[in-house]
Amino acid sequence: MNQDHYIIIGTAGHVDHGKTLLTAALTGIDTDRLPEEKRRGMTIVPGFVPLDLKSGRRLGLIDVPGHEKFVKNMLAGVAGIDMVMLVVAANEGVMPQTVEHLNILHLLGIDKGVVVITKLDTVDEEMIKIVKTQVEELLAPTLLRNAPIVAVSAATGQNIEELRHVLDTVAAEVSGKPANGYCRIPVDRVFTKTGFGTIVTGTLWMGRIKSGQKLQLLPQNSELRVRGLQVHGKNVEEAKAGQRTAINLVGSDTDKIACGSWLAQVGLLKETYRIDVFLTSLGSAKTLSHRTRVRVHHGTTEALARINLLDREELKPGACCFAQLIMETPLPPLKGDRLVLRSYSPTYTIGGATVVDPFPKRHKRFDAQILLQLARKNTQDQHESVTDVLRQSQKPLSSAEIAHAAQLTPAEVEQYLATQIQENRIIQMQIDHESYYLLPEQQENLLKISLDLIADYHQRYPLRKGVPLPELRQPIFPDYHVRQLSILLDQWQQAGKIIINGATISKADFSNHPNPKQEQGLFQIIQAYEKGKFTPPEWKAVIQELAITQTDATEYLLWLTENGKLIKAGSLYYSTNAILKAQALLRKLFLNHDFTIGEARDALAVSRKYAQTILEYLDAQKITIRVGDTRHFLK
């Protein structure tokens, strides 16, 4: 069998309209496997079987529950389907769950399918015409308005082959799911098997899963390993998007997997308590008020949330708007995912939502700028999501990081980046053999913020050379790698915006020359230390004598040491001239032979304390070296 992609088809319709019998007639398999299902004569949980067609296509067929009590299970079953068989019994016509199931399919964006009128053998032709008219009116406002209608009898086999042909024709129009992205699968069934352990099933929404691969389990956020894979009962090394897949898993949290869990490429999904959505209310629903509590269905997961309407106080039936879902328990959606909303109590379907932003900030209501941003995000094409990913990032990203976040293949991202770089819409930053990317407006904004911070620092500390790098990095570049920041700062220096002085950054036009008042204070301090020569005064004593404030004293001391006017030796400060003179005097006397600290003391005419301090400084500068109780000059 040659097939470009894999297609999942689901049944839908009211209870006891013959979905399971129809499935058996098409496949030869009874999907009611639970004892309770046999006893009650209805499907409770979805059943999954292969459906082979004459073209060679093999569809994965999901038989979902029709009873109103099991709509949650129905939603789990249709999560990820590509097309539908909407089943309507000829002897009853359109019923409540027919309508609700069709609404759910519409909200999930299912636009390919076939309507099957069953129990053809129980009614006359007139009744078939009436039911067909009902169905056509029901389909008219939905995405399935053009779906073909076939009347069959599963009991006698009448028109079953015609139905197969129609299913084959519709399946040929289904585009299928992307197999080249990152994998994720909502779990709809979990069981254990002796000798194998835990096995889960679900429809692979996108990407591929390989035997031996590690997958992330949510909501536990742990890693599990794929021991084995099956597709339609056959062992495979790889499962592809669109296939019904059984996964044998090993790991410490396998006992925590349940229907509603998610398995995905490690690092792909992240749970969120807040989701921006484009919300659509069903025409048959009641008016939705701001802060209404609802049940949110995402894949096979159900969670409670409240709806924050962003531009109105209530949403009328059939209307749509942007809203923010505030989750009571988190969900792990991606942008573009479709959600089904049901009322809290009593439970019925009220609308649907498309995920616009899975990780938004809390929004202020009735904010025109926020609404414009949401409208842009809601209409942007797939490649524009690359720009959106960069815009939301706090650091330059590699193409692999962009592909992961935007849910595109590396090849697609590289192609888009090349075009955008050529048009100067994205900046490329080369670090060793790796490229990183950011937006020009991000760089401009960072430069503005950095220059503002540096200017403020210059104003507060006019005698300092500039901002210490850590004080610039922490508030503005906390997520930047050292090399990324270094390259960015080098670019700004080459552009004449800043000057890098070792580990400090200053504006290009800044000079830390003291003003006249500061010059006077600095001159007096230097004079005091020049006067002290080899026996310098204590810093505190100098400051007190000159009546210099502590704030000014701190800045003066930093300027004097940075500009080489004072040298710190031990706990003392010396004028630079004093140290140079002491070095010259000792070199003249002891250049060719060793000398003791006592000899140095006598030569400098100071106490042992000051002689020792000067000699230890010279040792630290590799000018002298101590050997036992003596020293000699190295230079």
Position 505 pLDDT exceeds 90: yes
Position 175 scores a pLDDT of 82
The closest alpha carbon to 84, from 109, 114, 58, belongs to 114
The answer to whether residue 155 sits within a structural domain is yes
The closest alpha carbon to 232, from 211, 205, 254, 203, belongs to 203
Q: Whole-angstrom distance between the N-terminal and C-terminal Cα of the chain?
A: 86
Mean pLDDT of 101-108: 88
Query: 106 and 69: one domain?
Result: yes
Query: 227 and 369: one domain?
Result: no
For the chain, how many structural domains are there in total?
6
Position 41 scores a pLDDT of 39
34 compared with 603, residue with greater pLDDT: 603
Mean pLDDT of 150-165: 94
Q: Mapped to the 3 state alphabet, what secondary structure does 226-278 carry? A: EEEEEECCEEECEEECCCEEEEEEECCCHHHCCCCCEEEECCCCCCEEEEEEE
Query: 102 and 11: one domain?
Result: yes
- Domain containing residue 432: 380-438
Position 432 scores a pLDDT of 83
Query: 541 and 478: one domain?
Result: no
136 compared with 401, residue with greater pLDDT: 136
**Per-residue buried b or exposed e for 107-123, using 16+ beta carbons within 10 Å of the residue's own CB:** bbebbbbbbbbbbbeeb
Rounded to the nearest angstrom, the gap between the alpha carbon of residue 505 and the centroid of all alpha carbons in its chain is 33
Q: Which amino acid is at 374?
A: L
CA pair distance 371, 363, nearest whole angstrom: 10
Position 74 scores a pLDDT of 60
CA pair distance 187, 202, nearest whole angstrom: 5
Q: Which two tokens stand for residue 343?
A: 């009322």
Q: Which two tokens stand for residue 280?
A: 């659509």
Residue 79 · residue 186 · CB < 8 Å: yes
Mean pLDDT of 20-36: 70
Q: Residue 584 maps to which CATH number?
A: 1.10.10.10
Instruction: Name which of 110-124, 410-424, 490-504, 604-618 the model is least confident about.
Output: 410-424
Query: 106 and 71: one domain?
Result: yes
Position 34 scores a pLDDT of 38
CA pair distance 120, 61, nearest whole angstrom: 22
Q: Residue 222 maps to which CATH number?
A: 2.40.30.10
Position 1 pLDDT exceeds 70: no
The answer to whether residue 178 sits within a structural domain is no
pLDDT band at 84 (very low <50, low <70, confident <90, very high): very high
pLDDT tens, residue by residue, 46-77: 467 888 899 988 888 887 754 344 355 667 65
**Scanning the structure block, which residue is given the tokens 């090993």?**
250
pLDDT tens, residue by residue, 288-318: 999 999 999 998 899 999 999 999 999 999 9
Q: Mapped to the 3 state alphabet, what secondary structure does 59-89 carry? A: EEEEECCCCHHHHHHHHHHHCCCCEEEEEEE
CB neighbour list of residue 358: distance below 8 Å, 6 or more residues apart = 270, 272, 275, 276, 333, 334, 335, 337
The closest alpha carbon to 438, from 450, 420, 456, belongs to 420
Position 305 scores a pLDDT of 97
pLDDT tens, residue by residue, 338-378: 999 999 988 888 999 999 989 899 999 999 999 998 988 88
